[in-house]
Amino acid sequence: MCIFCKIVKREIPSNIILENEDFLAFHDINPKAPVHILVIPKVHVESFHEVSGEIMSGITPFIQKVAKELSLDKNGYRVITNIGEDGGQEVKHLHFHVLGGAKLAWSHLSDAHPKEMI
């Protein structure tokens, strides 16, 4: 069983922000911003590339609710999901990073020059 499935089943402790029947939001163990939350579906889905439209239509208002409860909606925030090796996905259970609480940088995503990738 994957680490986030264990968090869903309370086999691993986490600092939970919000939960409903289908989704869970908890603090990232290694925050990269003043607010860094992970939002996951309770059912195991490997990544965004495999997720159904039904889960996406449920998780979208759930993420919006998390952002509102943490007062991120006033100044803005960022939602990121990493997919696979090039995307930098370490945990193979779909999760959305919700980052905020400060002006976030948007500078350096890859060592490869953008023009080399076109």
Write out the residues near Zn ion by the rule CB under 5 A.
2, 4-5, 44, 93
- Count other Cβ atoms within 10 Å, centred on residue 26: 21
E runs forming strands in 1-118 = 16-19, 23-27, 35-41, 77-80, 96-100
Is there binding between residue 66 and ligand 5GP (CB under 6 A)?
no
Of 44, 95, 108, 113, the catalytic one is: 95
Q: What are the residues whose beta carbons fall under 8 Å from the beta carbon of 47, sequence distance 6 or more?
A: 81, 83, 84, 87, 89, 92, 94
Q: Which of 30, 105, 106, 116 binds ligand 5GP (CB under 6 A)?
A: 30
Task: Provide the minimum distance between the beta carbon of 50 and Zn ion in the complex, in angstroms, as a whole number.
Answer: 12
Active site residue 95: yes
Is there binding between residue 89 and ligand 5GP (CB under 6 A)?
yes
Contact between 36 and 71 (Cβ < 8 Å):
no
Q: Which of 1, 2, 12, 56 binds ligand 5GP (CB under 6 A)?
A: 12
Q: Which residues would be at the binding site for ligand 5GP (CB under 6 A)?
A: 3, 12, 14, 26-30, 38, 82, 88-91
Which sequence positions are flagged as catalytic? 95
